Amino acid sequence: MSNVPDLCSLSQDELKSYLVELGEPGFRAKQVFSWLHQKKAAGFEEMSNLPKSLREKLAERASLPGLKREVVQVSKTDGTQKYLFSLPDGNMIESVLMRYSYGNSVCISSQVGCRMGCRFCASTVDGLARNLTAGEMLAQVYEIEKELGERISNVVVMGSGEPMDNYDNVVRFIRLLSDKDGLNISQRSITVSTCGLVPEICRFAEEELQVTLALSLHAADDATRQQLMPIANRYALSDVLDACAYYFEKTGRRVSFEYSLVAGVNDTPEEAKKLIALLRRRKGHVNLIPVNPVVERSLKEPSLAAIHRFRDALECAGINVTIRKEMGRDIDGACGQLRRRYRDKKEQGNSKEE
């Protein structure tokens, strides 16, 4: 393991093997782990209880995720903050801080871009650039917590990227984020949202994790779902829902369903009826997200009346439903929008904003 790209991605055991390989005593692992994951050190020189020789050795041979804050946009309406970070290879990622009465929640990206191609989503317009490492996912939470000076209590993997398409790194990220010697965020306060990769959902069910799984459902039949999400051509809705039922069976955690409402496509009373029929026997919460129109896409947001009509229909049928609180719409709230806009601006030669 002499070529370590990113020390922050290693478990405590792996870190120990790495340090022993460097000729260091094993007990240093706990110290380094704490510097990385509790004190959120930005560089090895900060690790003041390590011998200077070790700090120098690490600076030479290992690396840290190296996220650099480029832009922070603060919503004037609800205090939501959207961060744009650059990575050492020049790629950019977005994360969002949402402030709720129950605590601070951070929404992180799991990939640079995305290759799932959902029709309403800005993250996918240029496809996938690369996967993020576990350390790069953690660094989004750490950087925001450091800047805020307050504890982050919830993390949602709902930013750019498809977490199940970066499976190993996402599972590693969850284990590190909930490590008692790290930030120690309860797994029950972590949500992973997927467009529905069936084999990975089943594998995820067997990891013995306690995280909440959210499925991007977006339609109640295969044909409508295929119109919105190319992945629906690969997996039938019944198989996706069976995989979610398996997740519930293995973990005891109820799956929640996301449903982005698009005018004229999936917001009609007939669609509500189909959704009720589909979910009646499957317990689980439905989160309605009025589509956030993306410049590159032609989809329209339903009227408020249509949104409420849809919610009321589900509620009357005894389905647990909420309309996702609109957060940060005034600051390019939807996945991938800030990154695209910033890059377009830069290409036109405009200066940074802050």
Question: What is the contact surface with ligand SAH in residues (CB under 6 A)?
Answer: 118, 120-121, 158, 162, 193-195, 216, 258, 260, 289, 291-292, 294, 334-335
**Catalytic residue selected from 8, 121, 244, 335:** 335
Helices 134-148 and 167-177: angle between axes, nearest 10 degrees = 40
The nearest distance, CB 14 to ligand SAH, in angstroms, is 28
| Residue placing its CB nearer to ligand SAH in the complex, 31 or 91 | 91
The nearest distance, CB 126 to ligand SAH, in angstroms, is 15
Distance between CA atoms of 286 and 216, rounded to whole angstroms? Answer: 10
Q: Please confirm, yes or no, whether 316 is among the known catalytic residues.
A: no
Q: Please confirm, yes or no, whether 353 is among the known catalytic residues.
A: no
The nearest distance, CB 140 to ligand SAH, in angstroms, is 14
Distance between CA atoms of 114 and 163, rounded to whole angstroms? Answer: 10
DSSP 177: H
| Residue placing its CB nearer to ligand SAH in the complex, 219 or 294 | 294
Q: Tell me the three state secondary structure of residue 82.
A: strand
The nearest distance, CB 255 to ligand SAH, in angstroms, is 12
The nearest distance, CB 4 to ligand SAH, in angstroms, is 29
Length of the chain: 354
| Residue placing its CB nearer to ligand SAH in the complex, 29 or 262 | 262
| Residue placing its CB nearer to ligand SAH in the complex, 81 or 194 | 194
**Catalytic residue selected from 8, 24, 70, 94:** 94
The nearest distance, CB 75 to ligand SAH, in angstroms, is 16
Nearest to 106 by CA among 141, 70, 66: 141
Nearest to 341 by CA among 279, 296, 276: 296
Secondary structure of 198-244 in HEC code, one letter for each residue: HHHHHHHHCCCCCCEEEEECCCCCHHHHHHHCHHHHCCCHHHHHHHH
Strand pairing partners for 275? none
Compute the chain's Rg from CA coordinates: 21
Q: What is the DSSP string of 18-58?
A: HHHHTT--TTHHHHHHHHHHTS--SSGGG-TTS-HHHHHHH
How many other C-beta atoms lie within 10 A of the C-beta of residue 352? 10
| Residue placing its CB nearer to ligand SAH in the complex, 75 or 292 | 292
The nearest distance, CB 10 to ligand SAH, in angstroms, is 26
Residues 6 or more apart in contact with residue 316 via CB below 8 angstroms: none
Distance between CA atoms of 318 and 220, rounded to whole angstroms? Answer: 17
| Residue placing its CB nearer to ligand SAH in the complex, 24 or 200 | 200
| Residue placing its CB nearer to ligand SAH in the complex, 19 or 291 | 291
Cβ pair 7, 36 in contact under 8 A: yes
Question: Among all residues, which ones are annotated catalytic?
Answer: 94, 335
